[in-house]
Amino acid sequence: MSCVSPESKPDWKAYVLRELGQDAHRQAEAHLATCSICHEEVATLRLTLDTLSTLREEEMPRRIAFVSDKVFEPRWWQRVFNPTFAAGVLVAVAILIHGFMGTGHTSQDQVDAAVTKAVSQVEARHMQEIRAMSEELDVRNKQVANMYRNAVLSR
């Protein structure tokens, strides 16, 4: 199927954009009333135009963003929920609470002692983890040695 009279087919883009003169516009409407193919073409053009008009409201980017730009930095809530940051806040709050309780006055020595205690606890835990890993490694080494010896003996 094609246009009933392709030789007198109006410029449908101009028609949809209302850029045709009065006479041309009237002729186009007359053609449209009789030609289903052009009717469909105009419907498609109007749909495209409507779609474009909804997009037009979006703001165009002013420039290309760089990775170093502020928009790429984590937002405050992403930082707050970061485990390292959360742990830091927890320690700070614990120190503050410790400071406000009891005498109501905290000397630098007390703060230092609290920090030293917290740090030594973390260090002790790390040492424990390292010792456990070392023991695990010893066990694995013995297993590998046994496997090797068995392999050599079974030859």
Cα(first)–Cα(last) distance of the chain, in Å? 85
The footprint of Zn ion on residues 44-73 (CB under 5 A) is none
**CA 39 to CA 45: how far, in whole Å?**
10
- Quote the least distance from Cβ 55 to Zn ion, whole Å: 29
Q: How far is CA 33 from CA 25, 37, 39, in A?
A: 12, 10, 8
Q: How many CB atoms lie within 10 A of CB 10?
A: 20
Residue from 3, 95, 111, 114 in contact with Zn ion (CB under 5 A): 3
Nearer to Zn ion, 2 or 53 (CB): 2
Write each residue from 6 to 45 as x if it is in contact with Zn ion (CB under 5 A), else as -, in one continuous string. Answer: -----------------------------x--x-------
Q: Which stretch binds Zn ion (CB under 5 A): 1-9, 60-68, 82-90, 137-145?
A: 1-9
Residues 6 or more apart in contact with residue 3 via CB below 8 angstroms: 9, 35, 37, 38
- Interaction site with Zn ion (CB under 5 A): 3, 35, 38
